[in-house]
């Protein structure tokens, strides 16, 4: 059972060539509408809040606060390319950030602790892949169950208490370092995004994953090993989630089971918004980052206007509903376009012989 259908809606060069300038802009508006809206929000808040919004301090704050969400959104994007959903991006980060600290309290060097956490994250992704492809459980249900188990393990491990320890400076530097005046976590996001973009857009593995997301049955009939690529997508997602947990531990410097679940909704919102821009109807890397940016800009601007603490979850929830609605419309629109394009052209019949 597929949780998401992946199919691109962006117009091709051949479709745009015969159109007028106005018609071209009309076809491209849905493609880059979210990008344009992001730029408009940046200009709007910069004009209304000139002393606080367009500042380096605010930029650093946004990058520092949203880098982990961006990594989780990219983690969720990978299974979405194959038509699946991974909810463990929100539950897993709870356990991984706790283990990143607790393993060091046992005397392990911080690089070894990080490697163990990454390996466990990859293993949880493998487990999700097996549940989805071997046990044939819908990805939403499978990852919800796995994520709940991971969260329960975090509660059991901590006993509901905070885990506090003096950790090495090298571990803290994973999050606290600044490069060119910006938090290093922003550069982590950029490196991961570029790597995923190259893999998905320019390597055969990316084309295979998009083919699976569009129609797994047709992909299998064309010789693509669907279970292998789906399980690989979940493994990659689990590894990135573990990385986000390590960075969260380096940022908070404590382990707490009540921290982490609040990242699930904005991470999914960013990934779903990614399917509505750049390549509407198809999950894509730069669309996901655009979704995260518009969330960050919108929430930052609203909070600087004096928005209450409940504004952020409300904004995320409404945006998720809008994103899912737009994604569903794009898929239906794409289906209509495909039907029109594939409709056979009638051939003229020979005149009847007298």
Q: Which domains does the chain have, with CATH numbers?
A: 13-19+30-340 (1.10.3470)
Q: How far apart are CA 252 and CA 263, in angstroms?
A: 14
What pLDDT sits at residue 6? 47
Among the listed ranges 13-22, 71-80, 131-140, 197-206, which one has the minimum average pLDDT value?
13-22
111 or 321: which leads in pLDDT? 111
How far out from the chain centre does Cα 78 lie? 7
218-227, long-range: CB < 8 A, 24+ apart: 226/133, 227/129, 227/133, 227/134
Percent of residues, the chain, with pLDDT higher than 70: 81
Cβ atoms of residues 319 and 273 within 8 Å: yes
d(Cα 224, Cα 211) in Å, to the nearest integer? 9
Greatest mean pLDDT among 243-247, 276-280, 336-340: 243-247
- Compute the average pLDDT of residues 336-346: 48
* Model confidence at 337: pLDDT above 60: no
- Residues contacting residue 113 through CB under 8 Å, at least 6 positions apart: 99, 100, 103, 104
């Amino acid at each position: 059972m597929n949780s998401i259908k992946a199919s691109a809606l962006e117009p091709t060069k051949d479709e745009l060539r015969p159109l007028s300038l106005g018609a071209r802009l009309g076809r491209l508006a849905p493609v880059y509408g979210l990008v344009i809206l992001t730029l408009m929000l940046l200009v709007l808040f910069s004009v209304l809040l000139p002393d606080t919004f367009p500042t380096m301090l605010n930029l650093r704050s946004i990058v520092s606060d949203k880098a982990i969400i961006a990594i989780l959104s990219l983690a969720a994007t990978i299974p979405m390319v194959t038509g699946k959903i991974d909810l463990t991006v929100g539950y897993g980060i709870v356990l991984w950030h706790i283990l990143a600290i607790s393993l060091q309290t046992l005397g392990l060097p911080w690089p070894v602790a990080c490697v163990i956490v990454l390996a466990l994250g990859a293993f949880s992704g493998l487990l999700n892949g097996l549940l989805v492809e071997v046990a044939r459980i819908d990805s939403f249900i499978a990852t919800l169950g796995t994520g709940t188990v991971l969260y329960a393990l975090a509660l059991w491990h901590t006993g509901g208490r905070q885990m506090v320890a003096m950790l090495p400076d090298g571990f803290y530097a994973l999050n606290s370092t600044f490069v060119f005046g910006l938090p290093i976590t922003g550069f982590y996001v950029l490196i991961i995004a570029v790597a995923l973009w190259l893999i998905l857009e320019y390597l055969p593995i990316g084309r295979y994953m998009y083919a699976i997301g569009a129609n797994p049955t047709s992909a299998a009939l064309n010789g693509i090993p669907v279970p292998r690529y789906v399980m690989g997508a979940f493994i990659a997602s689990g590894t990135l989630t573990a990385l986000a947990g390590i960075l969260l531990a380096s940022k908070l410097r404590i382990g707490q089971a009540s921290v982490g679940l609040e990242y699930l909704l904005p991470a999914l919102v960013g990934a779903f918004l990614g399917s509505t821009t750049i390549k509407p109807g198809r999950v894509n890397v730069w669309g996901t980052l655009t979704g995260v940016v518009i969330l960050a800009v919108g929430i930052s601007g609203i909070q600087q206007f004096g928005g209450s603490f409940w504004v952020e979850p409300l904004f995320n929830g409404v945006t998720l509903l809008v994103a899912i609605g737009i994604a569903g419309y794009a898929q239906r629109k794409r289906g209509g376009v495909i039907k029109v394009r594939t409709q056979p052209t009638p051939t003229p019949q020979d005149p009847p012989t007298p």
